[in-house]
Amino acid sequence: MPWRSPGPFDESIVREALTLAVRAPSPRNSQPWRWVVDGPTVHLYAGRDRQTLETDPNGPVLLFSCGTALHHLRIALAGLGWRTLVHRLPDAAEPELLATIELTRGEPTADEISLAAAIGRRRDDPRRYSDWKVPEAHLTWLSRCAKDSVSVELVRDGAVRPRLVHAIAEAERRRSVDPALLLELLEVNGLAWTSPTLDFDRESELFVLGTGSDDRQARLRAGEIASRVLLTATSLGLASCLLTTPLSIADTRAVLRAELLGGWFPQAVIRVGWAPVSAQPVPDEPRRSLDEIVQFAIKA
């Protein structure tokens, strides 16, 4: 069927897209973003009130999370027939403004349609995966999500993978016994933290996202690419889980940077695999309402 233009812009388009964008993953479901809509222009701001200071005192995870939301919004808008021009970190005098997104009508690609359809189905699934091997073609497709100075490296090294798996388990153990962190998570999310399954199966695959620099722009773009990897995995029928906590361990970051990323900076780990056929669907995480996080500019 030929593509049809969505017609003139109105705010309901952005509302519909933002309803999908806020489904973006964020570590500990912190959802640290807010939006200002001014006609066909959307501004993404850091939501500092949602920053988890115990684990993210300097804000790199916040920036990464906002990057996932930015990509989710762009894909949602593309699926609705709107192209986006993004200005990242557009105003040095306003550091909380992370991106300005301008909308114009445009036909979505087949890839964008597929990714947009995956937004509502994607869940973080930390459970043990099945022993089915992920096809090499799928792994190659996920690796090709790399772009904009963000690498997506499959962990195949027999020495690196065990150390990374151990770091994931150790980071979760530390998190589960830290009273200050548990209290902060309760205050930010209104929910108690529960530990994911740490029994890593042999057939799940681990990807590490790396960036050539470790500045604010790099972290924001890393979040965008993480969103692309996760939505691509969902479109392929794979289960996936985003992990950033292991990279809070300095030794783990050093090993990944030296032995896997060729000196690039690790920003996140993504685990993919096949969910067991008998597994129950992963419940959706609580989401903040648009009224909490979106402001529409008052028209004169």
Question: SS3 letters for 172-211?
Answer: HHHHHCCHHHHHHHHHHHCCCCCCCCCCCCCCCEEEEEEE
In this predicted structure, the answer to whether residue 57 has a pLDDT above a threshold of 60 is no
The better pLDDT of the pair 37, 61 is held by 37
Binned at pLDDT 50, 70 and 90, residue 190 comes out as very low
Binned at pLDDT 50, 70 and 90, residue 185 comes out as very low
User: For 260-295, how does the pLDDT look when each residue is reduced to its tens digit (9 = 90+)?
Assistant: 899 999 999 999 999 988 888 888 888 999 999 999
The better pLDDT of the pair 93, 160 is held by 93
Q: Do 204 and 214 touch, CB atoms closer than 8 A?
A: no
Alpha carbon 217 to chain centroid, angstroms: 15
In this predicted structure, the answer to whether residue 4 has a pLDDT above a threshold of 70 is no
In this predicted structure, the answer to whether residue 191 has a pLDDT above a threshold of 50 is no
**pLDDT at residue number 251:** 80
In this predicted structure, the answer to whether residue 298 has a pLDDT above a threshold of 90 is no
Q: End-to-end CA distance of the chain, in Å?
A: 40
- Of the chain, the percentage scoring pLDDT greater than 70 comes to 83
In this predicted structure, the answer to whether residue 168 has a pLDDT above a threshold of 50 is yes
Among 182, 271, 264, CA closest to 218: 264
Q: Do 141 and 218 touch, CB atoms closer than 8 A?
A: no
- Of the chain, the percentage scoring pLDDT greater than 90 comes to 60
In this predicted structure, the answer to whether residue 197 has a pLDDT above a threshold of 50 is no
**pLDDT at residue number 189:** 44
Q: Which CATH number does the domain 136-273 belong to among 3.30.9.10, 3.30.40.10, 1.10.760.10, 3.40.109.10? A: 3.40.109.10
**pLDDT at residue number 124:** 93
For the chain, give every domain's residue range.
11-123+285-296, 136-273
Binned at pLDDT 50, 70 and 90, residue 177 comes out as low
User: For 9-27, how does the pLDDT look when each residue is reduced to its tens digit (9 = 90+)?
Assistant: 788 999 999 999 999 998 7
Binned at pLDDT 50, 70 and 90, residue 209 comes out as very high
In this prediction, residues 91-108 reach a mean pLDDT of 96
Average confidence score pLDDT of the chain? 86
**pLDDT at residue number 193:** 41
Asked if the domains 11-123+285-296 and 136-273 are classified in one and the same CATH topology, the answer is yes
In this predicted structure, the answer to whether residue 237 has a pLDDT above a threshold of 90 is yes
In this prediction, residues 73-101 reach a mean pLDDT of 97
Q: How far is CA 264 from CA 61, 65, 96, 168, 194, in A?
A: 17, 20, 26, 20, 32
CATH of domain 11-123+285-296: 3.40.109.10
**pLDDT at residue number 46:** 93
CA-based Rg of the chain, rounded to a whole angstrom? 19
User: For 130-158, how does the pLDDT look when each residue is reduced to its tens digit (9 = 90+)?
Assistant: 989 999 999 999 999 999 799 999 998 78
In this predicted structure, the answer to whether residue 170 has a pLDDT above a threshold of 90 is no
Please tell me the pTM assigned to this model. 0.89
